[in-house]
A and B are shown apart, each in its own frame.
Chain A
Amino acid sequence: MTDMQSQGDLSYVRQEILKAAPPPMRVHGVWPWMRTNLFGSFGDTILSIVGALIALWVIVPLLQWTLINATWSGDREACAANTAGACWAFVKANFGQFIYGRYPDPERWRVNLFLVLMAAGIIPLAIPSAPFKGWNLVYIYVVFPVVAGILLVGGVFGLQLVETQVWGGLFLTLVVSYVGMAMSLPLGILLALGRRSKMPAVHYVCLFFIELCRGVPLITVLFMAGVLLPLFLPTGVNFDKLLRALLGLSLFAAAYMAEVIRGGLQAIPKGQFEGAKSLGLGYWQMMRLIVLPQAITIVIPGIVNTFIGLFKDTSLVYIISIFELLYTVRNSFSDPTWASSTTPASGLVFAAAVFWIFCFGMSRYSKFTEDRLRVGYKR
């Protein structure tokens, strides 16, 4: 049998060697990339042309306006004469005001020191591998607020008193968002726990508060803080306008934060709660040691998104005449020494760029934590 097979008809076996196939088309380089990404088919080519037209239609005038035709130096006359480009001279001249508001010139080092201290608290907290997270939180919630308060308001240790009325600009935006963020997180956690509580009174009080805040625009909450709060308090009792704005903004943000945290709490499997209870932990121990660390880690991207929303919402506190960045910029449009047809656009583009850098930075950070969290599930 084996003999017959080995010596038998082998006509189905190819006798001569095939010619080498032509090399595959290049998959690397400019042209293959363009073929797959831009000119894959007839429709794709048309889309690319339309897209290129749109991009040119936007980019060319934008470059002309912001760079080529812009007025970089000079005074109002130079800007008024040149209507084809941005008036960066206006931004340059008012830059100090945009950053510090009407904070007195010789005292600006205090604001600078405040910004450095704030960065020193936030940056290590944002880096996952940085040590001493507990002490970092103590710094963020206790040390820094006290030091910053003394530093900015003054009136003690030989520091000149600076009323909050003259605060303004980017630095005030940062103060407002810092306080809003720092307050809304713990308040939001409490509200979220309350909303999931089995005690009906606690549940309904928290539910009512959360839905009330989430259902109305921030402007009405700020109106309440600005106009109604003095009515609600005993005659004669009144406190700083900035504090009122901070209170309104923090409570508003806390309601949104509560919903984000609740999402995290719902994602924790029931076994974690049962396991903690079976170990004999009480409610607060269970939440502090087992549930919240997991729940908050899951929703860090959501928390950062709420922070981005809060940062953008700070632009509304002007309603009760707190002169944050956007309002400071708007206010300078009416400055007769600079009023021209291009100043509003230039100022707004500058403000937009500042807001964008902060928000985009935060959204990148949120993306980074999201990817970091997903590592565990990837395998």
Chain B
Amino acid sequence: MAVTDAGRLNVSRDRWYNNPLVRSIFFQVLLVAAVLGSVAWLAHNTTTNLRDRGIASGFGFLNQRAGFDMVTFLNVTAESTYGYMLLAGLVDTIVVSILAIVIATILGLIVGVARLSSNWLIRTIATVYVEVLRNIPPLLVILFFYLAVLATLPDVKNAIQIGPDFSLSNRGLFMPAPVFGATFHFVVIAFVVSLIIAWAVRRWAYARRMATGQGFPSGWAGLAIVVAITGVIYLLSGDPLTFDVPVKTRFNIIGGWDLSPEFTALFVALGVYTASFIAEIVRSGIVAVSHGQTEAARALGLRSSHVLRLVVMPQALRVIIPPLTSEYLNITKNSSLAVAIGFADLVAVGNNVLNPTGQSIEVVAIWMAFYLGLSIIISVAMNWFNARIALTER
């Protein structure tokens, strides 16, 4: 019985179409052919359609005059080229994302720690914050800040003053703008040089501690070096940094930096929304460090600041950092919601370029290249960082 069974198995294996290798090659060839075939078919359709509509493909349009104006950080006019417009949109995306990331990180850290507080009231407030914001669409948060909060602010005449030089009105947030004098670059150079010196001191202190066991307050020494060198050069080069303070005239505010309502609504909304996710990440990271670690560190005689810095934080960060970066990427991607409130980010500018030129494929390609490039850069950096902090086991 057994012998005949074994024989039958052998027979069925002998059929060439049951050979796993043959099957694997067959399916892969089929898949590749299907993918290439559909790509070729789509490309053929696209070229036919473009020819019919008289649209020239290629990136030549980037050098043409745009003919429309937008409010961006870079100075664009109707005479700017499409390419420069898109660059301005890209800069806006980056600026908005960085500001939102700063807000989200600070707020998320506070709320995340507050969720673990032993104080019932603080814990409840943090929980309500997280549960409310996590469960509504980011677009709605942005629209709420733009249409319901900022639009109801007073006009310029009755602007809310925050301190002497900041004012908030329905025209946005006005603040003093730094003006860099001619000799300011000396200060920048001095700052960089002092940073390098401080780093060298830190390296030396570390090497000495490893060799002799003697400590050295390298952090304070480094701070002193940076402050002293930069300060001295700043004074020597003749106080090159001044501020352009916004001045209120009868109908308007002139000078200083004006953060437009769209921009303010976007980065505040993104920051506040994403903070709810970061809070959960921070909380789970801290919870993930077992209590035994804290107790063991205490038993070794570490001070409580050292327990946090040397034992808890490194382990919590190992859990926190990977999802945190993906939240940062989400902020960058969500900043494309700017299109809904008319802030000129990469997607909104692209949308404006796409309509008059019809170069939809090129514009979408530029979007994809930027966002994909960013994702890849961040995930490569992340992998490097992860490998550095990964648990070293035997």
Q: Does B6 lie at the interface of the complex (its beta carbon under 8 Å from any beta carbon of A)?
A: no
Q: Given the known A-B contacts A201-B31, A215-B376, A231-B49, are A51 and B121 also in contact in the complex, defined by CB atoms under 8 Å?
A: yes
Q: Given the known A-B contacts A219-B347, A231-B46, A355-B140, are A360 and B135 also in contact in the complex, defined by CB atoms under 8 Å?
A: yes
Determine how close the nearest CB of chain A comes to the CB of B172; give it in whole angstroms.
Answer: 18
Contact A202 B28 (CB under 8 A): yes
Contact B143 A348 (CB under 8 A): yes
Contact B139 A326 (CB under 8 A): yes
Q: Given the known A-B contacts A212-B372, A215-B371, A348-B144, are A44 and B119 also in contact in the complex, defined by CB atoms under 8 Å?
A: yes
Q: Does B361 lie at the interface of the complex (its beta carbon under 8 Å from any beta carbon of A)?
A: yes
Contact B361 A355 (CB under 8 A): no
| A286: B residues at CB distance < 8 A | none
Determine how close the nearest CB of chain A comes to the CB of B132; give it in whole angstroms.
Answer: 7
- Per DSSP, are chain A's interface residues mostly helix, strand or loop, or mixed? helix
**Out of A48, A228, A319, which one reaches B339, CB within 8 Å?**
A319
Measured in the bound complex, the distance between the Cα atoms of B375 and A164 in whole Å is: 36
Determine how close the nearest CB of chain B comes to the CB of A248; give it in whole angstroms.
Answer: 12
Interface string of A150-173 (1 = CB under 8 A from B): 000000000000000000000000
Q: Does B4 lie at the interface of the complex (its beta carbon under 8 Å from any beta carbon of A)?
A: no
**Out of B35, B52, B121, B347, which one reaches A205, CB within 8 Å?**
B35
Contact A37 B375 (CB under 8 A): no
Determine how close the nearest CB of chain A comes to the CB of B156; give it in whole angstroms.
Answer: 17
Q: Does A316 lie at the interface of the complex (its beta carbon under 8 Å from any beta carbon of B)?
A: yes
Q: Does B10 lie at the interface of the complex (its beta carbon under 8 Å from any beta carbon of A)?
A: no
Q: Which of B212-220, B281-289, B290-298, B330-338 touches A?
A: B330-338
Most buried by B among A38, A202, A217, A341: A217
Measured in the bound complex, the distance between the Cα atoms of B333 and A313 in whole Å is: 12
Measured in the bound complex, the distance between the Cα atoms of B351 and A47 in whole Å is: 48
Contact A344 B125 (CB under 8 A): no
- B151 — nearest CB in chain A belongs to which residue? A344
| A200: B residues at CB distance < 8 A | 28
Q: Which of A101-109, A114-122, A232-240 touches B?
A: A232-240
> Which residues in chain A, 35-67, are within 8 Å of chain B measured between CB atoms?
37-38, 40, 44, 47-48, 51-52, 54-55
Q: Does B183 lie at the interface of the complex (its beta carbon under 8 Å from any beta carbon of A)?
A: no
Contact A48 B140 (CB under 8 A): no
Q: Does B120 lie at the interface of the complex (its beta carbon under 8 Å from any beta carbon of A)?
A: yes
Contact B121 A355 (CB under 8 A): no
| A113: B residues at CB distance < 8 A | none
Q: Does A4 lie at the interface of the complex (its beta carbon under 8 Å from any beta carbon of B)?
A: no
Q: Does A227 lie at the interface of the complex (its beta carbon under 8 Å from any beta carbon of B)?
A: yes
> Which residues in chain A, 327-343, are within 8 Å of chain B measured between CB atoms?
330, 333, 341
Contact A315 B372 (CB under 8 A): no
Q: Does B389 lie at the interface of the complex (its beta carbon under 8 Å from any beta carbon of A)?
A: no
Interface string of A304-323 (1 = CB under 8 A from B): 00001000110110010000
Determine how close the nearest CB of chain A comes to the CB of B391; give it in whole angstroms.
Answer: 18
Contact A360 B131 (CB under 8 A): yes
- A46 — nearest CB in chain B belongs to which residue? B119
Q: Given the known A-B contacts A231-B49, A352-B136, A360-B131, are A217 and B371 also in contact in the complex, defined by CB atoms under 8 Å?
A: yes
Contact A312 B136 (CB under 8 A): yes
Q: Does B19 lie at the interface of the complex (its beta carbon under 8 Å from any beta carbon of A)?
A: no
Q: Does A73 lie at the interface of the complex (its beta carbon under 8 Å from any beta carbon of B)?
A: no
Measured in the bound complex, the distance between the Cα atoms of B372 and A121 in whole Å is: 38
Determine how close the nearest CB of chain B comes to the CB of A197; give it in whole angstroms.
Answer: 9
Q: Does A135 lie at the interface of the complex (its beta carbon under 8 Å from any beta carbon of B)?
A: no
**Out of B31, B119, B131, which one reaches A37, CB within 8 Å?**
B119
Q: Does A17 lie at the interface of the complex (its beta carbon under 8 Å from any beta carbon of B)?
A: no
Most buried by A among B134, B136, B339: B136
Q: Does A356 lie at the interface of the complex (its beta carbon under 8 Å from any beta carbon of B)?
A: yes
| B333: A residues at CB distance < 8 A | 216-218
Interface string of A202-223 (1 = CB under 8 A from B): 1001000001101111111001
| A37: B residues at CB distance < 8 A | 118-121
Q: Does A192 lie at the interface of the complex (its beta carbon under 8 Å from any beta carbon of B)?
A: no
Determine how close the nearest CB of chain B comes to the CB of A324; give it in whole angstroms.
Answer: 10
Determine how close the nearest CB of chain A comes to the CB of B96; give it in whole angstroms.
Answer: 13
- Per DSSP, are chain B's interface residues mostly helix, strand or loop, or mixed? helix
Determine how close the nearest CB of chain A comes to the CB of B200; give it in whole angstroms.
Answer: 39
- A311 — nearest CB in chain B belongs to which residue? B137
**Out of A234, A316, A352, which one reaches B144, CB within 8 Å?**
A352
Contact A316 B139 (CB under 8 A): yes
Measured in the bound complex, the distance between the Cα atoms of B28 and A327 in whole Å is: 44
Q: Given the known A-B contacts A37-B119, A326-B139, A360-B131, are A228 and B364 also in contact in the complex, defined by CB atoms under 8 Å?
A: yes
Contact B347 A220 (CB under 8 A): yes
Q: Does A224 lie at the interface of the complex (its beta carbon under 8 Å from any beta carbon of B)?
A: yes
Of the four ranges (under 10, 10 to 19, 20 to 34, 35 or more), the interface on chain A belongs to 35 or more
| B48: A residues at CB distance < 8 A | 234-235
Q: Does A296 lie at the interface of the complex (its beta carbon under 8 Å from any beta carbon of B)?
A: no
Q: Does B32 lie at the interface of the complex (its beta carbon under 8 Å from any beta carbon of A)?
A: yes
Contact A348 B119 (CB under 8 A): no
| B151: A residues at CB distance < 8 A | 344
Q: Does B354 lie at the interface of the complex (its beta carbon under 8 Å from any beta carbon of A)?
A: yes
Q: Does A345 lie at the interface of the complex (its beta carbon under 8 Å from any beta carbon of B)?
A: yes
Contact A215 B372 (CB under 8 A): yes
Contact B367 A216 (CB under 8 A): yes
Q: Given the known A-B contacts A44-B119, A231-B46, are A199 and B28 also in contact in the complex, defined by CB atoms under 8 Å?
A: yes
Contact A233 B136 (CB under 8 A): no
Measured in the bound complex, the distance between the Cα atoms of B361 and A369 in whole Å is: 44
Determine how close the nearest CB of chain A comes to the CB of B280; give it in whole angstroms.
Answer: 11
| A202: B residues at CB distance < 8 A | 27-28, 31
| B246: A residues at CB distance < 8 A | none
Q: Does A290 lie at the interface of the complex (its beta carbon under 8 Å from any beta carbon of B)?
A: no
Determine how close the nearest CB of chain B comes to the CB of A245; give it in whole angstroms.
Answer: 15
| A47: B residues at CB distance < 8 A | 117, 119, 121-122
Q: Given the known A-B contacts A200-B28, A315-B137, A344-B148, are A220 and B121 also in contact in the complex, defined by CB atoms under 8 Å?
A: no
Determine how close the nearest CB of chain B comes to the CB of A193; give it in whole angstroms.
Answer: 13
Q: Given the known A-B contacts A37-B118, A356-B135, are A235 and B148 also in contact in the complex, defined by CB atoms under 8 Å?
A: no
Binding site for A on B (CB under 8 A): 24, 27-29, 31-32, 35, 42, 45-46, 48-50, 52, 117-122, 125, 131-132, 134-140, 143-144, 147-148, 151-152, 333-334, 336-337, 339, 347, 351, 354, 360-361, 364, 367-368, 371-372, 374-376
A-B contact pairs, 10 of them (CB 8 A): A37-B119, A202-B28, A215-B368, A216-B371, A228-B364, A231-B50, A235-B48, A341-B152, A348-B140, A352-B140
Binding site for B on A (CB under 8 A): 37-38, 40, 44, 47-48, 51-52, 54-55, 198-202, 205, 211-212, 214-220, 223-224, 227-228, 230-235, 308, 312-313, 315-316, 319, 326, 330, 333, 341, 344-345, 348-349, 351-352, 355-356, 359-360, 363
Excluding A199-B28, A215-B371, A217-B333, 7 further A-B contacts by CB distance (< 8 Å) are A44-B118, A54-B125, A200-B28, A220-B367, A231-B360, A235-B49, A363-B131
